Amino acid sequence: MWAFRCMLAISWTREVSNEEVLRRVNQRRELLHTINIRKVAYLEHVLRHERYELLPLIIMRKVAERKVVGLSKKSWLCNIREWTGITSAAELFRLAKNRQ
């Protein structure tokens, strides 16, 4: 971000958001995009291979867990469903098992 701001001659005292700077240079946040791709690829890997017996059950929340006091946290699977736009977990698992 610092390099982009220098290229655009944006002073550090000006209140220009990072999103605005990225829009001006026609870029997007690459790190978050890479993390999303790798998370989805790992889900596909886990669901396709038979040697991972327990992980799919944990991901699908079929293993009993203790109730925790306080706000419920967003699950790993919920994050992936948001990023891909697929609302049904069954559809997501079906697509993950199909390598195409």
- 88 domain-assigned: yes
Residues of the domain holding 79: 29-97
In a domain, 22, yes or no: no
Query: Is residue 12 situated within a structural domain?
Result: no
Model pLDDT, residue 61: 62
Hey, how many other C-beta atoms are within 10 angstroms of the C-beta on 96?
22
CA of 81: how far to CAs of 36, 71, 89, in Å?
Answer: 11, 20, 7
- Confidence at residue 30, expressed as pLDDT on a 0 to 100 scale: 82
DSSP conformation letters of 46-77: HHH-TT-SHHHHHHTT-S-----SSSPPPPHH
Positive or negative CA dihedral for 45, 49, 55, 59? positive
Is the predicted pLDDT of residue 13 greater than 90, yes or no?
no
pLDDT tens-digit series, residues 54-100: 666 666 666 556 666 776 667 777 777 887 787 777 777 777 777 66
Tell me the per-residue pLDDT of 26-50, one tens digit each, with 9 for 90 and over.
988 888 888 888 888 887 787 777 7
Q: How many domains does the chain have?
A: 1
- Chain centroid to Cα 81, Å, comes to 9
